[in-house]
Structure 1
Amino acid sequence: MHTLLVLLGPTGIGKTELSLHLAKYYNAPILSSDSRQFYRELNIGTAKPTPEQLLRASHYFINTHSILDNYNAGQYEIDVINILPDLFANSNYAMLVGGSMLYIEAVCHGIDDLPTIDPEIRQYIKQIYLENGVEGIRSLLKKLDVTYYNQVDLKNSQRIMHALEICIMTNQPYSALRTQTNKTRPFQIIKIGLNRPREELYERINKRVDEMISQGLETEVRSLYPYKQRNPLNTVGYKEFFDYFDGHYTYTEAIDKIKQHSRNYAKKQLSWFNRDASVRWFHPDDALAIINYINSFNGNIGDIKQTGE
């Protein structure tokens, strides 16, 4: 049976190395579901697989787009679903690896077919937010779509702005366009969640930020400063350095904020994934248990190998 293995978890948990081990064991290509690894210009701050790691398995959706492109979860869903038949022609398994919640949701369950937003409308909403803050966009959403206003996380400015863009683009309430129906997929989906004790995860996140700094993250972000308004750059590790360049943070404060915001994002990811009862959770070091779990669906495909072989 064709099977999509979904390896998900918070930032810094250790998905990359485990995915390479599983890809070798199952002869499975890896499709990134990290929505920032799509972009060629974002490297250090997105913790992309190294060139050596990329050679260890076939990878898709890494370095496929520019930050100047308009790319979203809806288009990603189409692209992944279109490429999977070709991948399944060569292997019974493919792997979706990453932590971008909406993009994983799009592939596994589908998302509503919503219109592409005109750049002018996007800029209009962004300007309201810049001038009036989150209260400004909350107020407008309450006026245009009170139903979604009562459902959405009112602290999530990105989600509020997205809903406003749809409202204005279509002249209809966003809530009226959301079907929230799951699409049927012609393949089996097995979801594997990775987690660690909270202190262990936070220590890994802090260490990874330090490594990014030593690898030259500041220089990478500085080269992208002219494009800081592009949506892909509204990303932890980049926006904090932009604030440092603009004089809002000291250098030390910027690094501390990157660590803090990375930890906050990890917590948000775990909260989202924990709502999905179909996810089976493992420690990233427990490769044997993960393989046994996967094999329990389709039967064992061979001798179990230790991680690192």
Structure 2
Amino acid sequence: MRAVQVTEFGGPEVLKLVELPDPEPGPGEVLIEVDHAGVNYADTHAAENSYLAPTELPLVPGGEVVGRTPDGRRVVALLHKSGGYAEKAVAPEATTYEVPDGVDDNAALAFIVQGMTAWLMLRKNAHLEAGESVVVHAAAGGVGSLAVQLAKAWGAGRVIATASSEDKRKLALDLGADAVVDSRAENMTDALREANGGQRVDIVLDMTGGRITDESIAALAPFGRLAFYGMASREQPKPVELRNLLGHSTTISGIWLPHALRLPGNLFERGLAELFELAKNGEVKAIKGGEYALADARQAHEDLRSRATTGKLVLNPRA
């Protein structure tokens, strides 16, 4: 089969199109003929070995695929470690989910990673209550575009979206945001408070890092919550001193999606089913951010890292 492989750590240049043996499913696993594979920021970190989990070489990147099983089921799956950038992939049966009619490949891939990240942050990290203000950084991205819609659907009083271009900010408004802020604002604390009518904000969903995280924490109201799910800038925020959290009863939390799979009560499956239902009812839509041929995986990573994209990026192994 054709696959994209990484044999040395680095940037997008280390992604190479190669021929590899077909993967063989083991006990409790299923073989999937891949129709599309998702592309995520986590993949760019894995390629340079800066992800939460250490990367082992050689690596076929890609954590989720949508396609067909040998018995004809159309499924979307989270892979055990990687392997999605290929014509065939092996996934655990436990993290393989049937895709309902009315949900296309792009949406299925967007919901299983970006959608569930947004769902978990608002449900588990931030515990959104009706009427609260929610800041969504990178609101035109895969997670952000879905988080804006979910926050509105679940009764947020005011959704403030940040994005780096006029087109991205317009997209956020079209998705339901009440106000937009330039993500390059000189002082994000002041910009967020101004967008919230001069008031501090209740919730921030952040994947930026660096000063944006620092200034977002400073914008939180009493009992405000910041959920941190990535560091696109690759710049560390300032260390947080616990005594400083007392000043506004601040909560700062992090999220790594695999942890949700370990919780009892089929939390992940319930969340994904809710997202599928919202999509079928037209209440939430996944933004198509671009489809790339397998041979163009390097370009997909370059576009993602440059923050020039919106919505969900996918690879097409058949192109």
TM superposition score normalised by structure 2: 0.29
Structure holding more strand per residue: 2
Larger helix percent? 1
Larger radius of gyration between Structure 1 and Structure 2: 1
Give me the TM-score of the superposition, normalised by structure 1. Answer: 0.29
Q: Which has the higher contact order (CA 8 A, sep 6+)?
A: 1
